[in-house]
Structure 1
Amino acid sequence: MTENFVVAETVSGLLEAEIIRGMLEAQEIEVVLSHEAATTIYGFGVGRLARVEILVPEEVLGEAQQCLEDYRSGRLVDEIEDEDQG
C-alpha cells in the first residue's frame, strides 16, 4: 500500500521542522520533511528557501493537526509535565 502524504504545516526553518517532526513521531505519526536542498547545503535559508513543509499520511492528518494545535497552545507541554510528576 502506498501512503498518500499531505502537508500538515509549513514552517520557516529546518530547526523548527525537526522539533515538530520529533514531537509528531513521539505521537507515532510518520513524518516527511520537504525543503529546498540549498537550505541543507548552505546551512541557512531566507524567505522561500527557509520554508519547510511537514508532510504526514493523509489518514492521520486530523490527529497531526490536533497535536500541532496542542503544541502551539502549550497544552501538549502541560500534559507531558503532568505525566512526569504523576
Structure 2
Amino acid sequence: MACNKSSKTGEWIILVIPKNPMEAEIIKGKLESEGIPVFLKKEAIGRIYGISMDGLGEIKVLVPENLVEKARGIL
C-alpha cells in the first residue's frame, strides 16, 4: 500500500494499522531504535475528539518502501 508521503528514500508504505495510539507509539519507538524512520499518519477527526472506533482515530504506521521488509522482520 503506497501513500502520498515521499522522502529521499522514495515512497512511504503502510506497514501496519495498530489498534490504538499506544500500540502505534510502541511500534514507532521500536522501529526508530533500530534505525528505521517512521511516520504516523493519523485520521483527523479522531485526533480532534480523541476517539478511535469504526475508522475514526485510525493511525497508520508508515516506513520507507526500501525498509519495509526490515521493519516487518523487526516486528
TM bin, normalised by shorter chain, reads 0.7 to 0.9
1:14 aligns with 2:43: no
| Residue 53 in structure 1 maps to residue 46 in structure 2 | no
Q: How does 1:1-86 map to 2 (within 5 A)?
A: 1=8, 3-68=10-75
Equivalent pair of 2:47/2:57 in contact (CA under 8 Å): no
In the alignment of these two chains, the number of paired residues is: 68
**CA RMSD of superposed structures (Å):** 1.4
**What fraction of aligned residue pairs are identical, expressed as a percent?**
35
Q: Distance in 2 between matches of 1:60 and 1:2?
A: 9
Gaps of 5+ in 1: 69-86
Q: Deviations over 1:1-46 (max 9, x none)?
A: 4621001111122221111101100001000111211111112211
Segments ≥4 residues shifted beyond 4 Å: none
Higher helix proportion: 1
Rounded Cα–Cα distance in structure 2 between residues aligned with 1:19 and 1:47: 22
For structure 2, the 5+ residue unaligned runs are: 1-7
Structure with bigger strand share is 2
Normalization by structure 1: what TM-score? 0.71
Superposition TM-score, scaled by structure 2 size: 0.80
